[in-house]
Amino acid sequence: MDQIIKNMNFKPILEKVEYKRLNLPANNSTVNMRTWDEIKVERLRSDAVKVVVTRFIKPEPESLLSVEVKMGLEVLVNTSAYDALNDAEEYFKTTQVMQVLLTHIATIIANITMHGPIGPMVTAPVPMFPKA
């Protein structure tokens, strides 16, 4: 299955950035920052797909800030090998495509939270998908 991606020259495109500054938490309260990713793979034409990854950072309980960053890129694929995949999203979760997107996303999050209420949020450039 390692012959699916034809070309490794990726050009990530920023699709969405949303930063919301929320209220400060109550004194002596605990805030858990939940971080998770979502992936979507869309067929553009027979030899190309678009992979879009979104990283969410949402606090529980809702306070401090909320962040959403979405990036996508087009990938040229070997049509027959791609069509043989059972689940394209599962396949792309473990590829260099995911690593490229998450590295850019993690950098953007660190930059936009630099001057936020808790300082820069450095999230790992590794997939964080909710367990099914």
Residue 67 is predicted with a pLDDT of 95
C-alpha–C-alpha distance, residues 53 and 73, integer Å: 9
Lowest model confidence (mean pLDDT) among 24-28, 36-40, 90-94, 120-124? 24-28
CB–CB of 73/89 below 8 Å?
no
Taking only the tens place, the pLDDT of each residue in 4-51 is: 998 888 889 999 999 998 888 778 878 888 999 999 999 999 999 999
The encoded tokens of residue 67 equal 């962040």
Residue 130 has pLDDT above 90, yes or no: no
Q: What is the mean pLDDT of residues 53-66?
A: 90
More confident residue, 27 or 131: 27
Domains of the chain, start order: 13-112 (3.10.420.10)
Using CB atoms within 10 A of its CB, is residue 34 exposed (0-12), middle (13-18) or buried (19+)?
A: exposed
**Rounded to two decimals, what is the model's pTM?**
0.88
Torsion over CA of 130, 86, 44 and 80, rounded to 10 degrees?
Answer: 150
More confident residue, 101 or 115: 101
Residue 1 is predicted with a pLDDT of 45
